[in-house]
Chain A
Amino acid sequence: MIFEAKNIHKSYHNHVALNDVSLSVEKQSIFGLLGPNGAGKTSLIRIVNQITGPDSGEILINGEKLSPKHIEQIGYLPEERGLYKKMQIGEQAMYLAQLKGMSKHDAKRELLQWFEKFEIGNWWNKKVEELSKGMAQKVQFITTVLHKPQILILDEPFSGFDPINANLIKSEIMKLKEDGATIFLSTHNMGSVEEICDNIALINSSKKVLDGKVSDIKKDFSKNMYEVDFKGNMIGFANALWTNYELVEKLSFDNENHRATVKILGNNTLNNLLSSLITENIELKQVNEIIPTMSEIFIEVVNTNNELNRKN
């Protein structure tokens, strides 16, 4: 484990920001840090960045207790990010890189490469106020990853980018992972979570309420429901289902073509469902399993959790 958080507790004078949060993250993976606004994500990120310290609990990087020397191994792209408006971007990027401990020489060499790669090579002497938002975002991304940190913390890295540049950033993130970086991705964009995250943790009201591999979580949250397209009539289809199945939703495309959403109850399998339908001479066109999206899982977990908190 490259990163471990053990029983982190943090409270400000009038509220608890993190309550007994533990996480562990494998090396060279992308870890989604999810949660509604105000759940405690930023507090956790600030603790990892050593901007604040936890009240109790500890953070381990490669098994070592988090200490100031780790600052140079961490790259942080905050959600609310900015640059000095009046400063030239090249000079500014050099400054930020040197603050992360890079030598002037290395910083310059790496920056030139990245500027080239992001096609902003001739922007070196421009001031930030002359750049579009997307341009500034590119510069910020570069300054975050420039010093080749082992751990990258990206808070909403895609916001403000057009789809083309968002893809560019996405592929750079994947490349950084291949090169050995471990990436924390904090985002509300569930699409990108599904696309690139290996594992996630969901924090709600200062507590971790869910974590694990994305694929496992999706499996866990699948409701054993299938979408069945068929030819015939809906009454016949409904009659074919026994008590072991529940017809959740009906949809007719025209007189003959229909779609039914079926939930399989008990220990029955898809095979059982199909054989019952076939026995009743239902003409099947296609069958798909309904897999919940991360967005649906997010909403469900958070709502259930809030409901639970309210009851207590």
Chain B
Amino acid sequence: MNKTSLIIKREYLTRVKKKSFILMTVLGPVLFAGFFAAIVLLAMPKEENYEILVVDETTLMYEGMELILNTEKAKRIRDNKAREEENQVDVEGLLHFQVANSSYASAIKEFQKEDGKYDYLVYLPSNLIDMADNKANLVYKKAPNSPTETKIISLINEAREALLMEKEGVDRAKYDKIKTKVGLTPIASNNLDESGNPIENKAEFKIAAYAGFGFSIIIVMFILTFGMQVMRGVIEEKTNRIIEVIISSVKPFQIMMGKIVGVGLVGLTQFLFWIILTGILVTVITPFLGLDSSPEAMAQMSSTDMESMVNSGKSEMLQTIFSLPWLPLISSFLVYFLGGYLLYSALYAAIGAAVDSETDTQQFLVPVMIPLMLGLYVAQFSVMTNPEGPAMFWLSMIPLTSPVVMLIRIAMESVELWEVLLSIAILALTFVGTTWVGARIYKTGILMYGKKVTYKEMFKWIRYKS
């Protein structure tokens, strides 16, 4: 057997057999799912009852509320919840408004009592109705979450609108018609035929961009995780001195490449398992959630329902996801995945060879991580502001960031074939370059002990004659 493949085999098998690898491979998707679920749960505001004390110097709380509670939507609520007390207004059973019969100052005193039952105090100054730029105050003990805050202010505004309409004699239906806003749908011109009809169901580019962004994050995570593994492997061999034995049988370049390829295969294996396991997980879990995730089922859902807004958003997203350019996306994902990993892991190997222990690596690791992080941040910002701008173009050409950025452009279908090919060519050339540089540093570094290595020193190693 060829010596490099022996090394690859060892690097691969020892890692794949590790308990931590098996655990991470099996638990990875579960952990990810749990992690996202936890984030969603934590960020979701709790449906709670709030006691709100209102100091009303206007007639909003009485007349205004009365008016809006007369509307269709409010009627439903009021039918279920009768007013218990004269001064209390319950809205959707969650917000209990209690109008104070006193001045602002004494209401504040009441509110600030230690055993006071009120969560918020709303102050509606007398000029609130006439002057549009005036503001109501919300005094809180614990900052309100944004849905509650929105609910309160929209109730106040609705009441104010209703009151003003009544006062000015404006017809409600006319007003609603005027107030309606139109939307704007960006459509790529190449997605329209000559008569202006959409050619196919193409992905909405922002959703597509975020799908691409997901791939970018996977690539960055992969490079960081497995690049570090390459580095640790090199440091391990150096510190326990087995490198002295191995290097008398194999060339340093073979050891380095064997390690990089072996660890890369470990990464691919893990990734493959994650995809399979996630697939299984999704198929198993979806029926339990009572969700039919097929787009047809989504589209069939009632559109008159209040929740249809949310669902149509979901189904649009799913449709976008289904209409993503999957074939070019996955194939270029693999190319950039490998290209990026190979490029960076050679640098990681060089760092591992240059130092004596992992604690010394920090100063060298930061510059390696910066382009990856920069790629992610700039790409995220550009997608929102200028998705086809020069920043995206250049970041997808520069080899240190192209594995991160190009996939977003491919997902958005805002890239020409020549651009992808050029970017891959640059990436490949740079990969050869970093491997060359990495190998030279590696070769000198692995046999150098007890020396605090500086950048200057490393540059010297690169220039050594072989």
Give the chain B neighbours of A86 by CB distance below 8 A.
Answer: 14, 18
Candidates B3, B447, B460; contact of A99 at CB < 8 Å: B3
Complex interface: stretch among A71-79, A173-181, A218-226, A260-268: A71-79
| Residue interface mask B10-21, A partner, CB < 8 A = 1 | 100010001000
Known: A95-B6, A99-B6. A71 touches B245 (CB 8 A): no
Residue contact B248 to A84, C-beta cutoff 8 Å: no
Give the chain B neighbours of A74 by CB distance below 8 A.
Answer: 248
- Nearest B residue (CB) for A98: B6
Candidates A46, A50, A101, A140; contact of B245 at CB < 8 Å: A140
Candidates A13, A98, A144; contact of B1 at CB < 8 Å: A98
Q: Is A143 an interface residue (CB 8 A)?
A: yes
Give the chain B neighbours of A46 by CB distance below 8 A.
Answer: 447
Give the chain B neighbours of A99 by CB distance below 8 A.
Answer: 3, 6-7, 246, 249-250
Q: Is B117 an interface residue (CB 8 A)?
A: no
Give the chain A neighbours of B151 by CB distance below 8 A.
Answer: none
| Residue interface mask A51-87, B partner, CB < 8 A = 1 | 1010000000000000000010010111011111111
Candidates B1, B239, B245; contact of A76 at CB < 8 Å: B245
Q: Is A165 an interface residue (CB 8 A)?
A: no
Give the chain A neighbours of B249 by CB distance below 8 A.
Answer: 71, 96, 99-101
Q: Is B453 an interface residue (CB 8 A)?
A: no
Contact count band on B: 20 to 34
**Chain A nearest CB, measured from B26 CB (Å):** 20
Contacting B at CB under 8 A, from A87-111, are: 87, 95-96, 98-101, 104
Q: Is B321 an interface residue (CB 8 A)?
A: no
Give the chain B neighbours of A87 by CB distance below 8 A.
Answer: 14
Among A76, A84, A144, max chain B CB count under 10 A is at A84
Task: Report how many A-B pairs have Cβ atoms within 8 Å.
Answer: 64
Give the chain A neighbours of B237 by CB distance below 8 A.
Answer: 84
Residue contact B240 to A76, C-beta cutoff 8 Å: no
Give the chain B neighbours of A81 by CB distance below 8 A.
Answer: 241-242, 244-245
| Residue interface mask B225-247, A partner, CB < 8 A = 1 | 00000000000110111101111
The binding surface of chain A is classed by DSSP as loop
Residue contact B6 to A82, C-beta cutoff 8 Å: no
Residue contact A83 to B10, C-beta cutoff 8 Å: no
| Residue interface mask A143-159, B partner, CB < 8 A = 1 | 11000000000000000
**Chain A nearest CB, measured from B57 CB (Å):** 75
- Nearest B residue (CB) for A51: B247
Give the chain A neighbours of B246 by CB distance below 8 A.
Answer: 96, 99
How far, in angstroms, from A306 to B96 measured CA to CA in the complex? 97
- Nearest B residue (CB) for A13: B460
Contacting B at CB under 8 A, from A127-175, are: 140, 143-144
How far, in angstroms, from A71 to B236 measured CA to CA in the complex? 24
Residue contact A71 to B244, C-beta cutoff 8 Å: no
Residues of chain B having any CB pair with chain A under 8 Å: 1, 3, 6-7, 10, 14, 18, 236-237, 239-242, 244-250, 447, 449, 460, 464, 466
Residues of chain A having any CB pair with chain B under 8 Å: 13, 46, 49-51, 53, 71, 74, 76-78, 80-87, 95-96, 98-101, 104, 140, 143-144
8 tightest A-B CB contacts, nearest first: A82-B240, A82-B241, A78-B244, A49-B248, A99-B249, A76-B248, A80-B241, A82-B242
Show 22 A/B contacts (Cβ-Cβ < 8 Å), sorted by A: A46-B447, A49-B248, A51-B247, A51-B447, A78-B241, A78-B244, A80-B241, A80-B244, A80-B449, A81-B242, A82-B239, A82-B244, A84-B240, A85-B240, A87-B14, A95-B10, A96-B245, A98-B6, A99-B3, A99-B250, A104-B1, A143-B245
